[in-house]
Structure formats: C-alpha cells, structure tokens
Structure 1
Amino acid sequence: MSNYQGPATLIAGGAQIEVVATLSGGRSGPGSEWGGSVQTDSAAQDLCSSMNNNEVKLRLPDGREGDVVATSTAIGSGRLKVSGRGPMPF
C-alpha cells in the first residue's frame, strides 16, 4: 500500500488550485485504484464549479500527475474527495 500526504496542485481547464493532499492506494499499474482527499483555503463549492466538465489532474511537487474525479464533501469546508483513475502519481 502506498500513501502520500503533502502539497499538490489540482488542475482543471485553465485553473490551478494549491491543495494539501492525503492519498492512499493499493496495487500500482494501469488498473490501480487510489484516492483520498484534498484540502484548500477556498470553498469546496467554488472548486467543484471550476472543475465541472473539465478533465481534472492532481500534480505532486515532483511533477508526477494523475487523473482524478473530485467531489465536494461539505460545502464551504474547502475539502474535496478525490478518486484516482489510472497509475498512482505517488
């Protein structure tokens, strides 16, 4: 099992949002499943609005990226749940 906790960037369309990510995943490879949550100072509702109908990527400080689906957990909390698609970036 792999884990990551630290800074990251959510990228959707032309928007980039700095977050703190808490991620975990099982096996690695193309069919891997991973996910967790991200926290930012911005409201989660605003984040989700900027991500609608856009491909969303999560980039770690070393440049590795993964495709994610992001959903809000509690409006106004600044926390999003993320589910990774494809290889883990950590």
Structure 2
Amino acid sequence: MSNYQGPAVLITGDVEIDVVATLSGGRAELAEWGGSAQTDRATEEFFAAMEGDHATLRLPDGREATVLAKRTAIGSGRLKISGVGPLPF
C-alpha cells in the first residue's frame, strides 16, 4: 500500500489551485488509488466544474496524474477524488 499526504496542485482547464492531498492506493501496476484534496482557496464554481470531470493532480516533484472528482462536500473546501492510471506517488 502506498500513501501520500502533502501539497499538490489541482488543475482543471486554465485554473490551478493549491491543495493538500491525502492519497492512498495499492501497487502501482493495479492503478487503483484515490483520496481527497483540501483547499481554502477555491470557489464554489471551481468545485462545481470539478464534479464528475477529469483534472490533473501535480505533486511537488512534478509527477502528474489524471483524477476524477467523485463528489464534493459543499462549503467544506474538500474534494473526493479517484485516480485514473498509475500512482503518481
């Protein structure tokens, strides 16, 4: 099991938002992973645009992965995400 908790950037369209990502997943070859992204800087419009759409999650070392927003908790600044493809951590 792999885990990552720390800074990341969530990118959708031309918008980049700094987040704290909490991620976990199995072995890299299984490509099943997910977690959450927390921010206090995003607007409700950003979260609405993210829900059900693909975005890019970038870690501080430059590794990137595609994520899918599973659901949002309105007003909390928290976005639940599932990874698409190999683990970025």
Q: TM-score range by the shorter chain?
A: 0.7 to 0.9
RMSD of aligned Cα (Å): 1.9
Q: Which amino acid aligns with 1:32?
A: A
Q: Given the two structures, how large is their TM-score scaled by the length of structure 2?
A: 0.87
Count of matched residue pairs: 88
Matched-pair contact (CA < 8 Å) for 2:17–2:42? no
Contact 2:10 / 2:19 at 8 angstroms: preserved in 1?
Answer: yes
Give the secondary-structure state (helix, strand or coil) at the position aligned to 2:86: coil
Give the fraction of aligned pairs with identical amino acids, expressed as a percent.
Answer: 62
Displacement, 1:46?
2.9
Report the Cα offset of residue 52 of structure 1. 5.9
Quickly say closer, same or farther: Cα 1:81–1:27, change in 2 above 3 A: same
Structure 1: runs of 5+ lacking an equivalent: none
The runs of at least 4 consecutive aligned structure 1 residues that moved more than 4 Å come to none
Q: TM-score, normalization: structure 1?
A: 0.86
Q: Where do 5+ consecutive residues of structure 2 fail to align?
A: none
Deviating more after overlay: 44-53 vs 77-86 = 44-53
